[in-house]
Chains A and B, each alone.
Chain A
Amino acid sequence: MSFFRNVSIALVAAFAFNSAIAADIKLPDYQTVTLDNGATVLLMPRKDVPLVAANIAVRGGALADAAGKEGTADLLGEMLSKGAGSRSALQFAQTVDGAGGSLGFGSSREAIIANAQFLSKDSALMLSLLADALLRPTMDSAEFDKLRKRAIDGIANAKDSDPRQLIGTYTGGWLFRGHPYGRSTGGDETSLATITLSDLQAFRQQQMGGDRLIIAIAGDFDATAVTAQLKQSFGAWPKASGGLPAVEAKARETGRRVLLIDKPGATQTYFALANVGSKRGDPAEAAQDLVQTAFGGRFTSMLNTELRVKSGLTYGARSGIERASQPGPVAISSFTKTETTKAAIDLAIATLDRLHKDGLDAATIDSAKRYVAGQYAPGLETAPQLAAQLVDMTLYGDSRETIDGYLGNIAAATPAQIAAARAVFPESKDLAIVAIGDAATIRDVIKSYGPLTEMKLTDPRFSPN
């Protein structure tokens, strides 16, 4: 096992976007084709390595899950490749692996998604497998039973593993209690157990179809051949019969509430402080990203400097902003040994207070601008990254200016705009707080931050009710 100096921010941050002020970083050329049924096809041929990548979104996703059946879209996504067209689940897997390819389905909050990457010579095979999975899934009941059980058991496995993986799910559930954004896209042990194969069939009928499809192909491929194949494969896919799920914005919360998740015997407490933040297309996005970088988005951020570098309380402390169609969570998260739970949470809160009280000085702003600019291009380097970017832009109705103009906005952000953008982070009096740890030891400390609700890590849910 390798041990790293710090966990890559990119692995954890929802969408930290970063690169050189001087450099002109733009999306490579691509073409957009709209099929007769409304499907959007995006093509970005690039000669680099002999690989071809596909990224797919089918609008709808986990937000369309029925209440109490959270995880439906995600399970459906996974079912699509468990036998499709003329291939059984095993034959499908053998075909993918046999070609050295990778192909995975799942669901995000707003779309059922697929990623695939194959050797260039197999681009036709890749597209035919994707078409089979989306249009002709077998939906075998034995495969479904296995998949559902494995999804439930997998959550138990995860609860026995590093709690850093779970804190985000619990935090989203606690902050967005009673709101669609509070649901776990993968569901939980309780909701998964109620889902049936016919739920999946119904979901597919209502929430999947040609009019919902966005497909981007990037890498080394023949645009003419691929366009023809995509038209033939997806052009006749009928429309989805249902409506897109609509979501109301959740207002920022005032006051505090605290959730303690008991992991008996835990030697470390994992905590998050959250509230509602910002949404896609927020005009203050660039200024907010600069605040996020300086406050909790890099190694020398205020949070990591205080909690790790100066005090040795933790291996890492960070913040994150997650933007969706409506405002998503903004959160501070860290972890510390059980005995220093209070010291670490107090210091995180004091650091948040300092951000609001003192703001960022000119040198910090300048450094943050250079950092964001310098780290931007590697996020747009590979075919899978670029394909994902094209799909993401299309899903949210953004133009290429979102990418091409980003660093210009970063450079142009004024001190006044950056000062105002601090408001994306809540005041410390207004926090939804989550802690995973040894409740017997830390209960009194955690209680001191606000009205307390408790649950166990082993409860078959990610939220207390």
Chain B
Amino acid sequence: MRLLSLACAIALGLSSVAAQAATPQPSAKVPGSEAIVSKTLANGLKIVVWPDHDIPNANYYTFYKVGSRNEYPGITGLAHYFEHMMFNGTTKRAPGEFDRQMEAAGGSNNASTSNDLTIYTDWFPSSALETIFDLEGDRMANLSFDPKVVESEREVVFSERRSSIDNDNFGTLMEQMQATAWTAHPYQFPTIGWPSDIEGWKLDDLKKFFKTYYAPNNAVLVVAGDVDPAQVFALADKYLASLPKQPEPTPITTVEPEQQGERRLVVERADAQSPIVAYAFHSGIGAGSKEFPTLELLTTILSQGESSRLHQRLVEKEQAATQAGAFAEAGFDPGLLWIYAMLPPGGDMAKVETLLDDELAKVARDGVTAAELDKARNLKASAFWRGMATINGKARALGTYEVFNGDYRKLFDAPAAYDAVTAADVQALAKKILRIQNRTTGLLKPVAAAATAADKEAAK
């Protein structure tokens, strides 16, 4: 199979959470969803359990309502770095023990950090349930920071940054665009952090961060799979109920002022072959907004599948790009709608801009057809059911709805919300946001002379 360019992978990754928010057919009911139970502990930790005994496995998802949105200059990247540190030792367990004990019990784990959330996941045979609770309860209560590990993990994060950003042209361009599109809101910070900030965190920053955000009342726990809810709640009482509630974190109240004209930026790359043209529009819509389904359907019509507008025009009809796509950010605050095109070597960036402008203007001017809207709804329905086919997808979807929409049950109300979207709604939204004044334009431009590695990685 051909290589999937990272741009495409990023787009897929970013839309995956949104895809969970897709619609089942109105008549469809998710088998087994009647067995979901939830409970909130006295310390504010909300727990949702979806028992599903198809395979003898379960997962344990902790969603913390913290991400790079909660940072400020000087500590950018701290939420993500902290995510790494959550695995590196407690007052009861030496660094590395968390992973060793989990894997010895048959479990694996990962974690991810975005603008809005830090999500920790364990995948394990259901026989390991108590081990997982013990490990998770310990790190929520007793995290400790070994100064040596703090330093070595800094290097790990730098290595991650080099692969995802510095040595990936689309990653570099997106970081610059994000920093340009936002003037006031902390969505301007790259989640992985600016290099000088990665160098600069202090132990005290970490301690403060832990106390503020890693509180039971700032988290949602979802367990899905081969478990008995009563047993889950009993283990939660044993391992998590004694965690102290903390004061609510300071809310992020900054509202991005309305953009009043296009912002353009160019990133020059000496060793590049392929130009990239990307647009970032302020969508004005957060994941919990009533309008979010409209934004998703618009994005789907523009970019999903080979019959999508952008692919047909730029890739098939004009052959001006090798790939064209779009994805909408889903967060607590209104995010960006990204539109991008990867060009062939020597591709004409001005022509691609003209074509993108024309396609976007067309949606705003003429709206979308009934067939396109049906298609988008069907694509959403399939994505929804693909999510419901795994215990992992079920846990992700429940947690995503709980944190962004305030109630996991809204996952099952989605059909009505999607069905309520009309072609006129999609057109009105396109008109409102797809304006040049509301846009940051980013160009990745291959240039001749090679910059030296030393210039590229200042201070490292």
13 A-B pairs within 8 Å (CB atoms) are namely A4-B112, A22-B127, A25-B55, A48-B389, A49-B30, A51-B386, A97-B307, A97-B375, A153-B322, A154-B3, A299-B103, A312-B156, A458-B271
Q: A5-B87, A315-B160, A366-B104 are in contact. List 16 more A-B contacts (CB 8 A).
A: A2-B14, A3-B80, A5-B109, A25-B55, A50-B25, A51-B385, A157-B323, A158-B5, A165-B3, A165-B4, A299-B99, A300-B96, A305-B96, A337-B158, A370-B106, A381-B390
B162 touches A267 (CB 8 A): yes
CB distance from A212 to the nearest CB of B (A): 19
CB distance from A361 to the nearest CB of B (A): 13
CB distance from A133 to the nearest CB of B (A): 13
List chain A residues, Cβ under 8 A from B358: none
Closest to B384 in A: A49
Segment touching A, from B214-222, B248-256, B413-421, B447-455? B447-455
List chain A residues, Cβ under 8 A from B246: none
Closest to A71 in B: B2
Chain B interface residue bracket vs A: 35 or more
User: Which B residues from 23 to 69 make CB contacts under 8 A with A?
Assistant: 25, 28, 30-31, 54-57
List chain B residues, Cβ under 8 A from A50: 25, 28, 385
Q: Is A388 located at the chain interface by the 8 A CB criterion? A: no
Interface string of A46-81 (1 = CB under 8 A from B): 011111000000000000000000000010001000
A49 touches B389 (CB 8 A): yes
CB distance from B191 to the nearest CB of A (A): 5
List chain B residues, Cβ under 8 A from A157: 5, 7, 273-274, 322-323, 342, 344
B10 touches A374 (CB 8 A): no
- Are A374 and B124 also in contact (CB < 8 A) when A156-B273, A163-B167, A315-B160 are? yes
Alpha-carbon separation in the docked complex, A381 to B58 (Å): 12
- Are A374 and B128 also in contact (CB < 8 A) when A51-B389, A264-B450 are? yes
Pick from B6, B111, B154, B158: contact of A162, CB below 8 A. Answer: B6
Alpha-carbon separation in the docked complex, A196 to B87 (Å): 53
List chain A residues, Cβ under 8 A from B123: 375, 378
CB distance from B287 to the nearest CB of A (A): 14
List chain B residues, Cβ under 8 A from A1: 10, 13-14, 114, 164, 171, 174, 191
Q: Which of A19, A154, A162, A169 has the most CB of B within 10 A?
A: A162
List chain B residues, Cβ under 8 A from A110: none
Q: Which of A1, A268, A314 has the most CB of B within 10 A?
A: A1
Q: Is A8 located at the chain interface by the 8 A CB criterion? A: yes
Segment touching A, from B232-240, B311-319, B348-356? B311-319
Q: Is B74 located at the chain interface by the 8 A CB criterion? A: no
Q: Is A99 located at the chain interface by the 8 A CB criterion? A: yes
B163 touches A375 (CB 8 A): no
Q: A-B pairs with the 10 shortest C-beta distances?
A: A374-B106, A100-B378, A312-B155, A312-B152, A97-B305, A153-B344, A20-B125, A93-B306, A367-B104, A93-B307
Chain A residues in the interface with B (C-beta under 8 A): 1-6, 8, 19-23, 25, 47-51, 74, 78, 89-90, 93-94, 96-102, 106-108, 113, 117-119, 146, 149-151, 153-166, 169, 185-186, 263-268, 298-300, 305, 308-315, 335-338, 363, 366-367, 370-371, 373-375, 377-378, 380-383, 438, 441, 457-458
B6 touches A161 (CB 8 A): yes
Closest to B301 in A: A97
Chain B residues in the interface with A (C-beta under 8 A): 1-7, 10, 13-14, 25, 28, 30-31, 54-57, 80, 83-84, 87, 95-96, 99-100, 103-114, 123-128, 151-160, 162-164, 166-171, 174, 191-192, 269-274, 304-308, 312, 315-316, 319, 322-323, 342, 344-345, 371, 374-375, 377-382, 385-386, 388-392, 450-453, 456-457, 460
Alpha-carbon separation in the docked complex, A378 to B96 (Å): 25
A312 touches B99 (CB 8 A): no
CB distance from A32 to the nearest CB of B (A): 23
Pick from A5, A119, A158: contact of B110, CB below 8 A. Answer: A5
